[in-house]
Amino acid sequence: MLAKKTSKNQITIPTAIIRQIPEAEYFDVSLRGEEIVLRPVVVTPAGERRRAVRAKMEALGVTEKDVRDAILWARGRRR
């Protein structure tokens, strides 16, 4: 399939290709030799990942003190 780059460096991806990839609004763009590679990316809103981690920690019963103690242990300042 043929796609044309516009004067604003935009390319329209043919519908036949778009139908074969997952729904995505953003793509990671890279070069592989002379090929342009597009990979669909899921972008999570700011803070969403942090909220998910905190919810998981709460469900597991991990406290802030547990985290502080683990950090101190990892840094070699064991109590």
For the stretch 17-45, pLDDT in tens is 989 988 888 999 999 999 999 999 988 88
Cα 43 from chain centre:
6
What residues form DSSP beta bridges with 31? 36
Smallest Cα–Cα separation from 42: which of 21, 30, 27, 29? Answer: 27
Higher pLDDT, 77 or 21: 21
Distance CA 64, CA 3 (A): 53
Q: What is the pLDDT of residue 24?
A: 85
Contact 29, 36 (CB under 8 A): yes
The pLDDT confidence band at residue 74, using thresholds 50, 70 and 90, is: very high
Predicted pLDDT of residue 69: 92
For the cut 70, the answer to whether the pLDDT of residue 79 exceeds it is: no
